[in-house]
Each structure stands twice: as structure tokens, then as C-alpha cells.
Amino acid sequence: MNTAKLHTLLNSNAGIGAFFLRVPVGIILTAHGAQKLFGWFGGYGLEGTGQWMASIGLAPGFLMALLAGAAEFFGGLALILGLLTRPAALVSAFTMVAAIFSVHASNGLFMANNGYEFALSLLAATAALTALGGGRLALDNVIAAKLNAK
């Protein structure tokens, strides 16, 4: 990848607002990924999550649990740090689209019925971060500055 494309990927004029969006969204995604991958925070880990995913038709379940958990966990960590914000947010957004249509859509909007409102909120936030980038307080800026210095 040439430096112009990398600079475009990293550059963000979103200011401090992106920080206030990406950190809490990153924390939420990291925690949900940790549930799927490691069984932390009351989660079922890869084995249990994989069995559940297979039971709802997402096969192979273990692989789907690994992909969803990794996207959420590592994508969430990247958002917290503001590191490769746009790719991390984009992968997280696609993960939320998959969650909405494979798990929640048939239950309606509201969380009380296992609906899609929470996943839709995360989709909106991650889509916004894909467009905005990491903003002012992001590691992306440190990388971009080093690229510009060359």
C-alpha cells in the first residue's frame, strides 16, 4: 500500500467527538468479543458460542464464533486506541449487520424481546467511525505524522 492511500486511511478531521464515540463503543465491543472468545463477563467462550451459532444455522459454529468474537474483541481494542480506526469500525459494522439479520431481526426492534435496537446502535456508531476516522486523540494520527515526516 502506498503512503498516499495509507495517509487517507489514517487521516481524520473529526476532532475530539470521534474519541467520545469510539472509546465507549470500543469498550462494549471488546467486552462482547471477550464473552465469545474467552467466556469472560458471563459469556460461553468459543465452544459454547459456537454451539449456539450452529444451532441457529451459522455453520460451522466454532468458526463463526471465532470470527465474530475476534472482530468484536480486536476491533474494539483498536477503536479504544484509535488504531486503524476505519478498518476496525468497518469490520465491526459488518459484524453488527450479520448479528441483526441472523439473530435479532425476527424479534423486532426492542431489546426486551432480543430485538435489534442495540446492534443497530452499534452499527450506526461503527458506520459513523468508518466515515469519520479516529479523530484528534487517536494513534492513527501518530502513524500519519511519522509517514508525513518521511
Confidence (pTM):
0.94
For residues 70 and 62, what is the distance between their CA atoms, to the nearest angstrom? 12
Identify residue 2 by its one-letter amino acid code: N
What does the pLDDT read at residue 145? 87
State the distance between the two ends of the chain, measured CA to CA, in whole angstroms: 15
Tell me whether residue 139 is exposed, middle or buried, using C-beta atoms within 10 angstroms of its C-beta: 0 to 12, 13 to 18, 19 or more. Answer: middle
Average pLDDT value for the chain: 95
As a whole number of Å, the CA-based R_g of the chain is 16
CA distances from 12 to 18, 87, 136 (A): 9, 13, 7
State the pLDDT confidence band at 2, using cuts at 50, 70 and 90. Answer: confident
Express each pLDDT in 50-94 by its tens digit. 999 999 999 999 999 999 999 999 999 999 999 999 999 999 999
Q: Which residue has the cell 509517514?
A: 147
Whether 125 has a pLDDT exceeding 70, the answer reads yes
Instruction: Provide the 10 A C-beta neighbour count for residue 38.
Output: 13
Tell me whether residue 111 is exposed, middle or buried, using C-beta atoms within 10 angstroms of its C-beta: 0 to 12, 13 to 18, 19 or more. Answer: middle
Host H or E run for residue 86: helix 85-99
For residues 73 and 70, what is the distance between their CA atoms, to the nearest angstrom? 5
